Amino acid sequence: MEERVSKPFEFNERLILVFWSIGVLLITMNTTMFNVALPTVITEFQINSSMATWIVSGYSIVFALSAITFSRLSDYIPIRRLISIGLIVLGTSSLIGFFSNTYLVLLLARLFQAVGAGTLPSLVVVLAAKYIPVSRRGKAMTVIATSAVVGFGLGPVVGGILTEQWGWNYLFLVPFAVLLILPVIRKHLPSEENKAVKFDMPGALLVGVSVGGLLLFVTSGVYIALIFSVPAMVLLWKHLHKVDSPFIQPELLHNRSYLLLLLMPFTALFMNFATLFTVPILLAELFNRSPLEIGLIMFPGAILAAFATNLTGRMIDGRGSMVIRAGLMLLVIAFMLFAFLANVSPYASLGILIIAFAGSNILLASANNEVSKILPVRLIGAGMGVVQLSQFVGGAFGAGVAGMLITVQQHLPPEEIFRNLFFVYIGWMVVAYGVFHLYLRSEKTDRKHIPDNTSSN
């Protein structure tokens, strides 16, 4: 059978993970910081809320497309070079954003930020799948996922402080600091060689139109986007089966176990972003909390969830399916508690967020690790890229669906709106659990996981 990991490389695994985690922390903070700054941006530039939403939803769309593109490029181009390109684009666009004084420049800076920001979260999964032994891979995934959860929690707090004290421009300095980790990562990453393979640019563009149009429709209600998205999907399917080196390997699309498992990372970030979108509105509507107060309420939940999740790292390596079940169950429990207790006190949300963030974090780390085990090494870059696309699309869908459901229930009392919302989330979790059960039953699912072929250094 084909080996699932590449030959061992000597590199400082612990040092790389520490600095990579710092980068992921700053990037995830950047994802959520602007949520609390949107009212200020709307007032300053005299724009409507739909235009302001592009600062967040546009970022999510480009981020998702960037993630799969860089993951696919990692099959041909050394990770070291891709990281350098991505972080330089991120740093440059952040500097432009800091000095921007018009809405258009601000929006363009955010979109180019997303291009560069897609590198670290996507390529760390490729790095772990290629070069970290199976015996330690789950722990490595958990370290990165934990830093992401902390970043999501810190984002609203830091965003609120910077916006209230100095203005939204200073939010761009946070991702600019990612450039400081580049020299260390470049020095200690494993050496790789370029491969002379033609990159499937038409396939990449079709993926971009397909996913971008669908996300645009869901997050902003632009129906005309479907006119471009649906035909692009049909053309993409035909294109991938005709070219020699397709952007997405057709073999992945015919792998039932892989496709079923994709719903887990999708669900993890769907629920994470849905929670991050719903809870601030809930706290503002029901308890009249300010952006900074909302951030301070959400922050402890993210931090404590990060510590709780970090404890599951070793369990992920040995009991992957059990940990995935645990993540799904924690999310169900959290949304049940939200449905019945969130309107009692703002501090009820603080406690429930610990369970919700821990659930999504555990689900994401364990699902990514599970996928890395069932893919052969030749499909790691393409396969993990689709996983990254799936989870970030899930995040964009989570915020978009939450916003849509709140809008269509405007005639109801706020307490009823949010209770209905959390029941919808519970319904989705039931579907996700059913799909995971199908995964476990599907054609042996390669769950005999081929032994680790890397060194155990």
- pLDDT digit string, tens, across residues 204-230: 889 888 887 887 787 667 788 889 999
User: What CA–CA distance (Å, rounded) separates 68 from 70?
Assistant: 6
**Residue 41 falls within a domain, yes or no?**
yes
Average pLDDT on 55-75 reads: 81
382 near 126, Cβ under 8 Å?
no
User: What CA–CA distance (Å, rounded) separates 132 from 123?
Assistant: 13
Least confident of 231-235, 337-341, 363-367: 363-367
One domain, residues 229 and 322: no
- The pLDDT tens digits of the residues spanning 85-118 come to 999 999 999 999 999 999 999 999 999 999 999 8
One domain, residues 242 and 262: no
And the tokens for 308? Answer: 């709780």
The last residue of one of the domains, among 230, 246, 262, is 246
One domain, residues 105 and 207: no
User: What CA–CA distance (Å, rounded) separates 330 from 267?
Assistant: 13
The band of 18, judged by pLDDT with boundaries at 50, 70 and 90, is: confident
133 against 256, higher pLDDT: 256
**Residue 452 falls within a domain, yes or no?**
no
Q: Which CATH number covers residue 100?
A: 1.20.1250.20
**Residue 302 falls within a domain, yes or no?**
yes
pLDDT at 219: 64
pLDDT at 455: 41
User: What CA–CA distance (Å, rounded) separates 5 from 7?
Assistant: 7
pLDDT over 60 (residue 2): no
| Most confident range, picked from 46-50, 323-327, 330-334, 444-448 | 330-334
406 near 398, Cβ under 8 Å?
no
Contacts of 446 (CB under 8 A, 6+ apart): 257, 373, 374
One domain, residues 312 and 164: yes
One domain, residues 227 and 108: no
The last residue of one of the domains, among 209, 228, 246, is 246
One domain, residues 151 and 284: yes
pLDDT at 393: 82
pLDDT at 457: 40
For 89, phi then psi, to 5°, come to -60, -45
Which residue carries 């450039």 as its tokens? Answer: 179
Q: Give the total number of structural domains in the chain.
A: 2
One domain, residues 328 and 365: yes
Least confident of 23-32, 44-53, 367-376, 414-423: 44-53
- The pLDDT tens digits of the residues spanning 109-134 come to 999 999 999 888 878 777 877 777 77
One domain, residues 261 and 342: yes
pLDDT at 448: 47
**Residue 342 falls within a domain, yes or no?**
yes
Mean pLDDT across the chain: 82
**Residue 25 falls within a domain, yes or no?**
yes
Tell me the percentage of the chain whose pLDDT exceeds 90. 23
271 near 425, Cβ under 8 Å?
yes
One domain, residues 84 and 116: yes
One domain, residues 215 and 171: no
**Residue 6 falls within a domain, yes or no?**
no
**Residue 453 falls within a domain, yes or no?**
no
pLDDT at 317: 59
440 near 349, Cβ under 8 Å?
no
One domain, residues 190 and 300: yes
**Residue 456 falls within a domain, yes or no?**
no
Task: Give the domain extent around 210.
Answer: 200-246
**Cα three-residue angle 352-358-361, rounded to 5 degrees:** 140
The last residue of one of the domains, among 214, 246, 278, is 246
Which residue carries 């952006």 as its tokens? Answer: 291
One domain, residues 351 and 367: yes
